[in-house]
């Protein structure tokens, strides 16, 4: 006859003790988080490697840093007054990124650890930048990834097989159906019926509709009216021209685009950037200020962050393609055209110097044909490469 064993329940006297122990553990954890003691465990993490594997989060950090006391960070990392002035005046994608570019040129970036950056933020009392970025989540993922690589390496050695690892990638955690974001007929605004149809009928939904081209359009508030008018013209076929799918990052709070931006903005924008054929910035005085982090209007802070991030992705794409512009086709606000085209940010800028007047229906139509032609050519190349 088998004896039945029961889990021993704590006595009444032990319950308060267990509760007290749990509270002590919680207090220790909270104290550790408040004091940022976890920073001491990050001095073994190379910042360059960490930045490469957490690109979106670091881009978000640099955006926040640009709007904070980035010059103090630059000074703490060893840049002198002249170098800081250089970063302020001649940056292309933001002063913080220019600080890191300058450190790379001086061969100091390779020696930098994540702990150096985080401890400097703590020393400068920039604690908001230690909480707004998900540092600990990124560190956990980074260490888990490194552990998997080590395990794979150990396995390959024991079997005498040399394993080759592919390029680093990141995982997207976005709540919406992917394609509706770049093929919605209303430029990023999705109705409830459209969302439901995509969820329940994926094979026949509008998300699978064939567009002549798919674009992200970015603009600042001072060119909003002209930009939306141009977007409507691009989406409305003329003659035999096919429709162009337009994604706009500013949308209603109930839209799928807004939900994605609220949940995971940098991963979402990066994903859409990779999916579309082109980005169409509508150049205006305010947009040029935003991509240089010089827009001081607090009501457009989020708009500036999104527009600058997209512009930085364009710059990265431009550089990776050896200064060939495959991704950007710009329009220009008619009211500020003269000033915009004379701007140093636009002149000799391979991404922006060629632009079309968005108030001219003829020029917008010309751009539409260029977008469709370019998208068609790009798809043809992809098919050919897939065959070979």
List, in sequence order, every residue forming a beta bridge with 245; answer none if it has no partner: 214
pLDDT of residue 20: 61
Q: Do 358 and 227 meet the contact criterion of CB atoms below 8 Å apart? A: yes
**What does 23-41 look like in DSSP terms, one character per residue?**
HHHHHHHHHHHHHTGGGGG
Give the chain's length. 388
3-state secondary structure of 327: coil
Give per-residue pLDDT as tens, 76-122.
Answer: 888 888 888 888 877 767 888 888 888 888 778 878 888 888 888 88
Neighbours of 344 (CB within 10 A): 9
What dihedral do alpha carbons 154, 156, 158, 160 form, nearest 10°?
A: -150
Other Cβ atoms closer than 10 A to 293: 21
Model pLDDT for residues 167-213, shown as the tens digit of each residue? 333 333 334 333 333 333 333 433 333 333 333 333 334 445 688 99
Q: State which H helix or E strand residue 213 sits in.
A: strand 213-219
**The pLDDT of residue 208:** 54
What is the maximum alpha-carbon separation in the chain?
A: 96
pTM of the model: 0.56
**Mean of the pLDDT values across residues 24-34?**
50
Give the tokens for residue 362: 């003829």
pLDDT tens-digit map of 266-291: 888 999 999 999 999 999 999 999 99
Average pLDDT, the chain: 76
């Amino acid at each position: 006859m088998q004896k039945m064993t029961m889990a021993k329940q704590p006595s009444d006297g032990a319950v308060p003790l267990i509760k007290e122990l749990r509270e002590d553990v919680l207090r220790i954890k909270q104290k550790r988080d408040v004091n940022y003691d976890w920073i001491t465990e990050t001095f073994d993490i190379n910042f360059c490697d960490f930045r490469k594997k957490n690109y979106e989060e670091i881009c978000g950090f640099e955006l926040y840093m640009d709007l904070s006391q980035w010059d103090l960070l630059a000074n703490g990392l060893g840049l002198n007054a002249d170098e800081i002035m250089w970063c302020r005046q001649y940056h292309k994608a933001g002063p913080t990124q220019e600080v890191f570019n300058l450190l790379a040129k001086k061969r100091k970036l390779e020696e930098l650890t994540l702990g150096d950056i985080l401890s400097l933020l703590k020393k400068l009392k920039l604690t908001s930048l230690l909480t707004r970025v998900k540092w600990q989540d990124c560190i956990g993922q980074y260490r888990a990834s490194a552990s998997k690589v080590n395990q794979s390496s150990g396995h390959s050695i024991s079997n005498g097989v040399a394993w080759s690892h592919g390029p680093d990638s990141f995982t997207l955690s976005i709540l919406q159906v992917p394609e509706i974001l770049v093929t919605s007929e209303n430029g990023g605004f999705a109705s409830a019926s459209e969302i439901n149809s995509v969820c329940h009928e994926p094979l026949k939904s509008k998300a699978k509709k064939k567009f002549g081209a798919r674009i992200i359009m970015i603009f600042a508030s001072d060119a909003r009216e002209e930009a939306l008018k141009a977007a409507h013209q691009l989406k409305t076929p003329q003659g035999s021209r096919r429709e162009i799918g337009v994604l706009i990052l500013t949308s209603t709070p109930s839209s799928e685009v807004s939900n994605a931006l609220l949940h995971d903005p940098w991963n979402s924008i990066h994903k859409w950037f990779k999916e579309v054929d082109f980005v169409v910035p509508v150049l205006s005085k305010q947009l040029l200020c935003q991509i240089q982090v010089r827009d001081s209007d607090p009501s457009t802070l989020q708009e500036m962050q999104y527009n600058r991030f997209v512009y930085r992705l364009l710059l990265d794409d431009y550089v990776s393609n050896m200064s060939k512009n495959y991704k950007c086709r710009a329009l220009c606000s008619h009211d500020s055209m003269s000033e915009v085209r004379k701007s140093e940010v636009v002149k000799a800028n391979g991404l922006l110097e060629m632009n079309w007047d968005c108030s001219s229906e003829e020029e917008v139509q010309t751009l539409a044909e260029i977008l469709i032609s370019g998208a068609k050519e790009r798809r043809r190349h992809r098919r050919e490469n897939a065959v070979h």
